[in-house]
Amino acid sequence: MKKQPEEELVYSGHPACQGCGVIIGLRHVLKALGRKTFGVIPASCTSTITGIYPQTALRIPFCHVNFETGASTASGIRAALKTLEDSEVENVFVWAGDGGTYDIGFGALSGAAERGDDMIYVCANNEAYMNTGIQRSSATPWGAWTTTTPLPEPKQQAKKPMVEIMAAHRIPYAASASIAFLEDLEAKVKKAKSIKGGLKFIDLLCPCPIGWRFSPHLTVKLARLAVLTGVFPLYEVFQGKEYAINQPEVNKALLPVEEYLSFQGRFSHLTDEDTKTILNNVNQEWERLLKKAEVSS
């Protein structure tokens, strides 16, 4: 792995759960962004991970905001910074969960994208409302158990294709990333940082041991398997039109989806038929992504 910046912008001793994927992602995203960053954190797991006043786990200026106001607050901060000639802030950065991105905060996010407001928006995607009790979100995958989709009726809807939705806004940059592939994540954050003007969006998969029901030592392994099985492929979209696939082994066959599902208690109830349904959906989406990349190349 390439050498990362030595400066740590996340203090140790934070109250994140053991094996938390969110704090891994936040640590490395901030390494790529650097100290000249102002953060906006809507209600999410990170609201508590960063520390309860007067303590903090971050070494950048940031503000906690309501669930639905992440992008709109960032828009206001960017506008205010334009009036400050001596400001050292280079990046306005939103770090929101999937609930505050896919659902409750989507209106503000869509509005900021349409206006072309200059910000970097990262969704720390753990596929449910984990901070409030593992309730389903529209990022929760089909077939998953949550406290609001209990057995015998797990979630029956597919998750939103959020990178595609944001790309449809014709923003300069939209991408998916995983905490298991840190070089790829760092490169994407730096790419977003280099683009001046417009909203840059990254959907970052951050497995949650508590909500997904797996042993904490498997966090990075599951983040890797999600990519290698095609459940969460890595790719970029430029200006809503040009696709680039970043899979580490793009020319090789996808791993069996069972390798990813079998470690997670939220999928322990799945039948063979359910697994086939998931596999078919993964293959269809993968083929669709390959065609988009081929057409736009």
CATH number at residue 211: 3.40.50.970
Nearest to 162 by CA among 144, 143, 139, 181: 139
The confidence score (pLDDT) of residue 251 equals 67
Is 12 part of any domain? no
pLDDT for residue 249: 76
13 assigned to some structural domain: no
Which of the residues in the chain have pLDDT under 50?
none
Instruction: Match 């200059």 to its residue by tokens.
Output: 118
Domain count for the chain:
1
Residue type, 9: L
pTM recorded for the entire structure: 0.96
Average pLDDT, the chain: 95
Closest CA to 161 of 221, 243, 72, 83: 243
Single-letter residue type at 220: V
Rounded CA-CA distance 51/63 in Å is 12
Question: Could you give the residue ranges of the DSSP H alpha helices within 15-171?
Answer: 21-33, 45-49, 70-81, 106-115, 162-167
Whether residue 9 lies inside any domain: the answer is no
Assess if residue 50 is contained within a domain: yes
Which domain range does residue 155 map to? 21-296
Q: Is residue 210 part of a domain?
A: yes
Answer whether residue 174 is part of any domain. yes
Query: Is there a domain that residue 194 lies in?
Result: yes
- Amino acid found at 221: K
Facing residues of 235 across strands? Answer: 245
The verdict on residue 216 lying in a domain is yes
Give the residue from 156, 31, 43, 174 showing the smallest Cα distance to 98: 43
